[in-house]
Amino acid sequence: MGYFNRVEQHYDPTIEEIFTKQTVVDDQSCVVKLQDTVWQEDWGVGVYRHWAEESNACMLVFSITCRGSFGSTARFHEQVKALKEGDLPFLLIGNKTDLSDN
């Protein structure tokens, strides 16, 4: 799938997409599941509690071209931590580096 040098005229924001890949890590078969979703305050905590309980890690992605999206990651981090018993590793990822001059 390549999207280089192409601009979508119609933007359809992601509500949820799930990507699954079976792989081998340290000679053990495992399934990696990435769930791409948005955080909607009005969805209710039950939806997010289920996702948090089923997760082994969480990636928070922000746009480096939007300071507000970076600021939101701290709030999302705290909310997800509150829903998960035990330690949950987090990975903070800045995207859209190709759109920034800084």
pLDDT grade for 15, boundaries at 50, 70 and 90: low
Q: Is residue 57 in a domain? A: yes
**Tens digits of per-residue pLDDT, 52-91?**
778 888 888 888 888 888 888 888 888 888 887 788 899 9
Q: For residue 76, what are the domain limits?
A: 16-99
Structural domains in the chain (count) = 1
Using only C-alpha atoms, the chain has a radius of gyration, in whole angstroms, of 16
Distances (CA, A) of 34 to 5, 10, 42: 26, 25, 23
CATH code for position 20: 3.40.50.300
Q: Is residue 36 in a domain? A: yes
Q: Is residue 82 in a domain? A: yes
